[in-house]
Amino acid sequence: MHPFSYEKVTNEHEALERARLGKATFVAGGTTLVDLMKLNVEVPTALVDINGLPLNQIEDRSDGSIRIGALVRNGDLAHDSRIQSRYRVLSQAILAGASAQLRNMATTGGNLMQRTRCYYFRDPVYPCNKRQPGAGCAAMDGYNRIHAILGASDTCIATHPSDMAVALVALDASVHIRAANGERVVPIMEFHLLPGDTPDRETVIRPGELITYVTLPSGPFGPRSAYVKLRDRASYEFALASAAVALQLEGTTVRSARVALGGVATKPWRALEAEQVLTGAAANKATFLNAADAALTGAVPRRHNAYKIELAKRAVVRALADALTH
């Protein structure tokens, strides 16, 4: 680990001021950042501890939406009764991630900034375009069973690791970002970037900007949503494939639907093709199979990860069946 300075701030203004100095990084739960600093993958010269900011509330808004402070811990969010009843998929997704100890530390904002588990990104010996633009990608021809089949580019095939963000994509959340010159609100679909030619740029966040809130719109889905995560072991493990879905029914017909995929794409992946198949169709297994096929039509397998196509389809079918029967 390289030396760094550490400072605790107590308000947003101070946080934004400090963040402008040198190679500063905000730290909240630290559950990803500290790991990566130990591996010399992240080498900030200054840590600005934002745990003292008043951003740890979950609030009902008058328009029926819910506003989640960026410092709300994953554990608190998942166990909040409003989230459990109205946004079941989000609660399930969070609880499918990491371990109880990590969820008690990890924050809403930090989870959105989580970085990939690609072996080659996390080991500075290998070339990695995400870590060092232009260095090359060791995963492309390397062992890539955990890598992406959707959204990859010629420079990067690393998957986005978050479970929470997949549910947020399915729920059409918005991310509130504070900069020195004001606030902007970004739809979650636009928050994470495809790798393209700049895999080092993972989100729309610019240096010195701070995530303050995530808002969940009042959706028509009620409790009819579900998250299914398939992984190598039962806990403390990233998805090989996951699906976050939500259904709005009219009798036995799907009126509207949301489908998002995790573990298989370079960013939390909204499967609009699958939603189109579902919308207006009978809510049954045959439809779900068609939707799963549609979700993966654009998938491009690499040498070791072709199995993920089938695995992801099955996650979608399982999640839809679960949402339907709930």
Partner 1 sequence: MPSRSVGRSVVRKEGRGKVTGAARYIDDLTFPGLIHARTIRSTIPAGEIVDVAFGFDTSGFTLVDYRDIPGRNIVALIDDDQPCLAERLVRHVAEPILLLAHADREALLAADVRIRYREAVPTYDATTSPIAFKTIAIDKGRIDQGFREADVIVEGEYRTGHQEQLYIEPNGVIAVPEHGGVTVYGSMQCPYYVHRALKVLLDLPDDKVRVVQTETGGGFGGKEEYPSMIAGHAALVAIKAQRPVKLVYDRVEDMLATTKRHPAVIRHRTGVKRDGTLTAIDIDAVIDGGAYATLSAVVLSRGVIHATGPYRCDHIRIRGRATMTNTPPNGAFRGFGAPQTQFAAEVHMDRIAEALGIDPVRIREINALRPGDRTATGQRLGRDCSALAVLRETVKRTDFKRKWRAYARLKASRCLKASRYKEGGSRGIGLSLFFHGAGFTGGGEVKLASKASLALTDRGARILVASTEIGQGTRTMHAQIVADTLGVPYDCVDVNAADTGQVPDSGPTVASRTCMVVGRILQRCAEDMRERLGRLTPREYLKRHGPLVITREYERPTDMAWDDNSYRGDAYGTYGWACDVAEIEVDRETWEVKPIAFTTVHEIGKAIHPVLALGQIEGGSAQGLGYALLEEVVMRDGRMANAQLTNYIIPTTLDTPPIDVVILENPYKHGPFGAKGVGEMPIDGPAPAAINALRNAGFDLREIPATPERVMVSEKQEPRHALHA
Q: Which residues bind partner 1 (CB under 8 A)?
A: 1-3, 35, 38-39, 99, 117, 119-120, 122-123, 125-126, 138, 142-143, 145-146, 228, 230, 232-238, 240, 289, 304, 307, 310-311, 314-315, 317-318
| Cβ proximity to partner 1, 206 vs 233, nearer residue | 233
Least distance to partner 1, CB of residue 236, Å: 6
Least distance to partner 1, CB of residue 97, Å: 13
Cβ–Cβ < 8 Å for 139, 119: yes
Cα distance between residue 243 and residue 320, in whole Å: 9
| Cβ proximity to partner 1, 190 vs 232, nearer residue | 232
- Among positive and negative, which fits the CA dihedral 131, 230, 292, 223? negative
| Cβ proximity to partner 1, 89 vs 239, nearer residue | 239
| Cβ proximity to partner 1, 152 vs 311, nearer residue | 311
Least distance to partner 1, CB of residue 307, Å: 4
Segment (H or E) for 301: none
Least distance to partner 1, CB of residue 3, Å: 6
Least distance to partner 1, CB of residue 127, Å: 12
Question: What value does the CA radius of gyration of the chain take, rounded to a whole number of Å?
Answer: 19
Cα distance between residue 243 and residue 318, in whole Å: 9
Give the 3-state secondary structure of 183-236.
EEEEEHHHHECCCCCCCCCCECCCCCCEEEEEEECCCCCCCCEEEEEECCCCCC
Least distance to partner 1, CB of residue 114, Å: 12
Least distance to partner 1, CB of residue 314, Å: 5
| Cβ proximity to partner 1, 143 vs 273, nearer residue | 143
**Which residues pair with residue 98 across a beta bridge?**
none
Structure tokens at 164: 């929470």
Structure tokens at 153: 């580019």
| Cβ proximity to partner 1, 59 vs 310, nearer residue | 310
| Cβ proximity to partner 1, 216 vs 277, nearer residue | 277
Cα distance between residue 98 and residue 101, in whole Å: 8
Closest C-alpha among 187, 40, 165 to residue 114: 165
What does the longest C-alpha to C-alpha distance in the chain come to?
Answer: 61
In which residue are the tokens 């530390």 written? 105
